[in-house]
Amino acid sequence: MVLLKEAGVKTLRRQRKYLRLTREISVEGNGKRIRMVPSDRFVLNCDVFFDHPIVGRQKLEFEVTPDRYAEDIAPARTFGFEHELDQMRNMGLIRGASLENAVCFTKQGVLNPEGLRYSNEPVRHKVLDLIGDLALIGRPILGQVVEERAGHAMHVALVSKIMSDPSLYEVIHFDQLVDRVAHALVS
pLDDT tens, residue by residue, 46-55: 999 999 999 9
Q: Which long-range contacts (CB under 8 A, 24 or more apart) does 63-71 make?
A: 64/131, 66/9, 69/131, 70/1, 70/4, 70/5, 71/1
* CB-based contact 4:70 (threshold 8 Å): yes
Q: What is the mean pLDDT of the chain?
A: 90
Q: Is residue 135 domain-shared with residue 46, that is, in the same domain?
A: yes
Whole domain around residue 179: which residue ranges?
2-66+120-186
DSSP 3-state assignment of 63? Answer: strand
**Active-site residue list:** 152
Instruction: Write down how long the chain is.
Output: 187
CATH number, domain of 39, equals 3.30.1700.10
Which region among 13-17, 31-35, 38-42, 57-61 has the lowest average model confidence (pLDDT)? 13-17
Query: How many domains does one find in the chain?
Result: 2
Confidence (pTM): 0.84
Q: Please report the sign of the dihedral spanned by the C-alpha atoms of residue 130, residue 136, residue 137, residue 141.
A: positive
Q: Is residue 56 domain-shared with residue 111, that is, in the same domain?
A: no
Residue 111 within any structural domain of the chain: yes
Q: Is the pLDDT of residue 128 over 80?
A: yes
